[in-house]
Amino acid sequence: MEVVEFTDPFCPWAWGSEPVLRALRRSLGGAAAHRRVFGILFDEDEEPAPDPDAEAAWYGEFVARVSGHTGAPRPARLRWVAASSWPASLAAAAAEAQGPRVAERVLRRLRESMFVRGEPADTPERIAAALRGVPGLDAAALAAAAASAPVRERVARDRAETRAPRPEVVGLRGPGPHPGGAKEIAAGHRYALPTLLFRGPAGCRVVPGWRTAAEYLAAARAVCPQLPAAPDDRPSAAELLRRHRSLTAPELPDGPPPGAVAVETPGGPLHLSPEEAAVSPLLSAS
């Protein structure tokens, strides 16, 4: 089975969905190949806002509303709206060559730059600062790969794939807060973010928008009826924090484990492992 995730480093719904998507990957384990598609929420050919401060205030209010639904951290103040999703998407795509753990951590740091610190890492310099101290990361190799033609071509394919949504999500309507119908754009439609496609022996299912773990697993079983049962044992909070290095409140129903370092935000805390807290830019001066 293949799971295709349409996302963007600066999408607030994708940020809020991370706890459920992490749990989905644990449930599926080695039964599924996972592929991310970077959809480019903020394109590089868009006209700049005439009043950047007003745009940032407006978008910050939107992020706050999404945070109210998802329980994800949000910044006290969004200092600017990302000029483009391209630099962060290129970096996240390039990180995949350094292995899944590095790739997960890079994408997480990029999201945290916007949704915790309020300073989206939308230039190579800001990306380098946001990724300082990521364990196992070869920063020089990442920067070179992100600037390379093959990685740009890959993200361009991702962008195009996002703008060719399956017909079942075009015109889709449903109850809120985020049913996930394809978004109308000048050139047609694109997938709402996040959207997941499940492809398996029994066909394809598309699961768009803000969804539960049960809905994702139901789609997985629909396309792969022989899918093994998900493991019953959920990792402890301490194990989750060791594995992911940062967790939000929805991932910690019983509270953070001892030693976790909280970064407080108006949308709730982000909990860092002691190792992550020692190197995280979130705890350094702006």
Which of 228, 219, 172, 173 lies closest to 200, judged by CA?
219
Examine the pLDDT at 285 and tell me if it is beyond 60.
no
Instruction: Say if residues 182 and 121 touch (Cβ distance below 8 Å).
Output: no
DSSP string, 150-197: HHHHHHHHHHHHHTS--GGGTT---SSS---PPEEETTEEE--SSEEE
Average confidence (pLDDT) over 111-125: 98
Q: Give the pLDDT of residue 25.
A: 95
- Looking up tokens 């994800």 gives 72
Q: Give the pLDDT of residue 184.
A: 96
Examine the pLDDT at 13 and tell me if it is beyond 70.
yes
Examine the pLDDT at 286 and tell me if it is beyond 50.
no
Q: Is the pTM of this model over 0.85?
A: yes
Instruction: Say if residues 121 and 127 touch (Cβ distance below 8 Å).
Output: yes
Average confidence (pLDDT) over 148-153: 98
Instruction: Categorize the per-residue pLDDT at 35 as very low, low, confident or very high, splitting at 50, 70 and 90.
Output: very high
The more confident residue out of 232 and 145 is 145
What are the start-end ranges of the E strands in the chain?
2-7, 33-38, 183-185, 188-190, 195-200, 203-208, 246-248, 261-263, 270-272
Examine the pLDDT at 284 and tell me if it is beyond 90.
no
Report the chain's mean pLDDT, rounded to a whole number: 96
Average confidence (pLDDT) over 25-43: 95
- Looking up tokens 């047609």 gives 188
Helix (H, G, I), strand (E, B), or coil: what is residue 144?
helix
Question: Could you report the per-residue pLDDT of 208-220, keeping only the tens digit for each?
Answer: 999 999 999 999 9
Question: Could you report the per-residue pLDDT of 157-193, keeping only the tens digit for each?
Answer: 999 999 999 999 999 999 989 999 999 999 899 999 9
Instruction: Categorize the per-residue pLDDT at 233 as very low, low, confident or very high, splitting at 50, 70 and 90.
Output: confident
Q: Give the pLDDT of residue 29.
A: 87
Average confidence (pLDDT) over 222-246: 91
Question: Could you report the per-residue pLDDT of 58-109, keeping only the tens digit for each?
Answer: 999 999 999 999 999 999 999 999 999 999 999 999 999 999 999 999 999 9
What percent of the chain is predicted at pLDDT more than 70?
Answer: 99
Examine the pLDDT at 44 and tell me if it is beyond 50.
yes
